[in-house]
Amino acid sequence: MRSALVIGTGLIGTSVALALAGRGVRVHLTDRDTDRVRTAASLGAGTDRPPEGPVDLAVVAVPPAHIPAAVAEVQRRGAARGCIDVGSVKGGPRREAEALGCDLTTYLGTHPMAGKETTGPLAAGADLFEGRPWVLTPTAGTDTEVLNLALELVALCRAVPVVMDADAHDRAVALVSHTPQLVSSLVAARLETADETAVRLCGQGIRDVTRIAASDPAMWIDILSANPGPVADVLAAVADDLAETVRALRALQSADDVKRTGGAAGIEDVLRRGNSGRARVPGKHGQAPAAYETVAVLIGDRPGELARIFADAGRAGVNIEDVRIEHATGQQAGHVQLMVEPDAAPVLAAALRERGWAIRQQ
């Protein structure tokens, strides 16, 4: 691919553009908000000048409700040989594009399974998609050249292509993305009016569960409006489990031994099912989840601390597989949790202790 046109220079569009521009593709940028185009261009994502002729591939990276019209506009102007979108929902936008008279042979719906809770070009990064699944939804009628261009784009973004039917994709993301977003928001919403004394105790558990509750409501209203049925089906099943869990907890409050035993069994059931579900979540780069060991190190809240600890781990010859930071409430310090292969954990802990780091016993 020699040239591309990215329409919508927010988080996803700018990340795609950065990856393509970094690998030698000439990228043209456009957005209805010209400030965002200027920001993306200044980050090195491409040029704000329009292409002189048709580009190889147009990438529509606007909210789902605007995708069909944007695809129709690309085709009406003859702006590209092929056109893909990167929206989080695939069935509805495709049907709307068809209703608008779009040529479905040169348009292909796609979805990178990577993102962030923050939007806009400043949150973008060329490495956002590395090792992540990127869904493509071709049909028998999809032009082979356009499918190949889309596959090339996925490869340039170092993502992993996954071919799926559009409606099957929408049911899958209802389960693995859209319902988790709502459940995260529902848990975080309990904090809205909670007492400050409770909120001060927030630890890593609630931070993990509520990270995506910081997402942009406007974007998510758009996504959920395009996939309401499948999400409602999954959430209804969650609601059934919640009702059972509440019943089990009430039974645990009972003075009756038999009821308490039943309550404990109900809670154990949900926790064990959670363990099995969690064990199925793929690990880094889509591999099976790895059993890493954590080395927790106390760091000061000062510039350069993380760089120093990573450099010391590198000197010890240890590869850090994953990392998390746990901030200590009200203190200028926190714990950085370095996840490493089990064999490497004692080596890393010893090397870091030797260099003066305080290691927390797990």
Residues that bind ligand PRE (CB under 6 A): 88, 113-117, 177, 212
Query: Which partner from the list ligand PRE, ligand NAD, none does 28 bind, CB cut-off 5 to 8 Å by kind?
Result: none
Query: Which partner from the list ligand PRE, ligand NAD, none does 149 bind, CB cut-off 5 to 8 Å by kind?
Result: none
The residue among 347, 303, 344, 305 whose CA lies nearest residue 322 is 344
CB of 222 to ligand NAD, least distance (A): 7
For 317, residues 6+ apart whose C-beta sits below 8 A from its C-beta are 347
CB of 173 to ligand PRE, least distance (A): 7
CB of 117 to ligand NAD, least distance (A): 8
Task: Please say which residue, 164 or 212, places its beta carbon nearer to ligand PRE.
Answer: 212
Distances (CA, A) of 62 to 10, 27, 267: 8, 17, 43
Read off φ and ψ for residue 94, nearest 5 degrees: -65, -45
Half-sphere exposure of 176 (CA within 13 A, CB side): 16
Residues composing the chain? 362
CB of 341 to ligand NAD, least distance (A): 30
Query: Which partner from the list ligand PRE, ligand NAD, none does 12 bind, CB cut-off 5 to 8 Å by kind?
Result: ligand NAD
Query: Which partner from the list ligand NAD, ligand PRE, none does 45 bind, CB cut-off 5 to 8 Å by kind?
Result: none
Tell how many helices (H) and how many strands (E) occur in the chain: 14, 11
Task: Please say which residue, 31 or 170, places its beta carbon nearer to ligand PRE.
Answer: 170
CB of 114 to ligand PRE, least distance (A): 6
Read off φ and ψ for residue 294, nearest 5 degrees: -105, 135
Query: Which partner from the list ligand NAD, ligand PRE, none does 177 bind, CB cut-off 5 to 8 Å by kind?
Result: ligand PRE
**Placement of tokens 């942009």 in the chain:** 216
Task: Please say which residue, 140 or 281, places its beta carbon nearer to ligand PRE.
Answer: 281
Query: Which partner from the list ligand NAD, ligand PRE, none does 169 bind, CB cut-off 5 to 8 Å by kind?
Result: none
Task: Please say which residue, 62 or 248, places its beta carbon nearer to ligand NAD.
Answer: 62
CB of 183 to ligand PRE, least distance (A): 12
φ/ψ region of 131 (left if φ > 0, alpha if ψ in -120 to 50, else beta) reads left
H-helix or E-strand containing 85? strand 80-85
Task: Please say which residue, 64 or 263, places its beta carbon nearer to ligand PRE.
Answer: 64
CB of 240 to ligand NAD, least distance (A): 28
Query: Which partner from the list ligand PRE, ligand NAD, none does 212 bind, CB cut-off 5 to 8 Å by kind?
Result: ligand PRE
Task: Please say which residue, 178 or 335, places its beta carbon nearer to ligand NAD.
Answer: 178
H-helix or E-strand containing 69? helix 67-77
DSSP label of 212 = G
Could you list the residues that contact ligand NAD (CB under 6 A)? Answer: 7-13, 31-33, 36, 61-64, 66, 70, 86-88, 111-112, 115-116, 119-120, 219, 223
Q: Are 21 and 153 in contact (CB under 8 A)?
A: no
Task: Please say which residue, 54 or 120, places its beta carbon nearer to ligand NAD.
Answer: 120
Distances (CA, A) of 52 to 5, 9, 78, 122, 297: 11, 20, 11, 27, 54
Task: Please say which residue, 60 or 338, places its beta carbon nearer to ligand NAD.
Answer: 60
Q: Are 340 and 292 in contact (CB under 8 A)?
A: yes
